[in-house]
Amino acid sequence: MKNENSAMGTGAWIAMGCGCFTLVLIGGIAAVAIFVVPKVVDGVQGVMEELEYANRWTPPADDLPLEELFPDTVAGFTRGEVVGESNVGILGVTSADAAATYSSTDDEISVFMMRVDKFEKQTIYDDVGNAIDAGNYSSRATSTFGDAMDFSLSGPEKGKLWFSKGWLFFFYKTTPADMDEFIREFLTIVDSK
């Protein structure tokens, strides 16, 4: 008799354990559905919007003066001097056809422009990826989707390479500036030239 009661007690404990495990599993799935899935959907939606924009984007005229290509102000940042052909020397990008640096109170964003074809673009993306992989960063993340490559390195160092219709823009910062708003506004202004 003693063995039967103890066996029934063990069975009850196993059933309770399985029930608790099931509840925790269902709770975990629900948490993922509530918190993670919307972020993933927003991220995918943002990438799709960016791809659609790149396809709709109208490149500026080839003879547009550099001072007009680089707007005076963008998202609260003021443009400094516009430089023609320049040495870049950042993450494997060696040169640009033109460059400008934008500043606000405590932030700075550099913008480099290159006229390249798809093959040259891919070489530049590969060079940046290799430089990031070879770098001594405490943290790093890169993502490439379509014709855009984003990277985030140790601290506030971030960048984005954006390509459309033979125009490659390299946005780079080492300060905590909000680059996403800056990039959207910059490309929208340039799109209207």
Reported as a single tens digit per residue, the pLDDT across 60-108 is 888 888 888 999 999 999 999 999 988 888 888 888 999 999 999 888 9
Pairing of strands 140-145, 148-153: antiparallel
The reported pLDDT for the residue numbered 114 is 94
Query: Contact 135/150 with Cβ under 8 angstroms?
Result: no
Question: Which residues make Cβ contacts (< 8 Å) with residue 29, sequence separation at least 6?
Answer: none
% of the chain residues with pLDDT over 90: 32
Q: Does residue 139 surpass a pLDDT of 80?
A: no
pLDDT tens profile 99-128: 999 999 888 999 999 999 999 999 999 998
For residue 88, the Cα-to-chain-centroid distance in whole angstroms is 20
Question: Residues with Cβ < 8 Å from 64, sequence gap 6 or more?
Answer: 193
Q: Is the pLDDT of residue 1 over 80?
A: no
CA-based radius of gyration for the chain: 25
Q: What is the DSSP letter of 157?
A: -
Residues 6 or more apart whose CB falls under 8 angstroms from that of 159 comprise 90, 91, 128, 150, 151, 170, 171, 172, 173
> How far is Cα 44 from Cα 19, in angstroms, rounded to an integer?
36
pTM of the predicted model, to two decimals? 0.73
Q: Which fold has domain 66-191?
A: Protein Transport Mog1p; Chain A (3.40.1000)
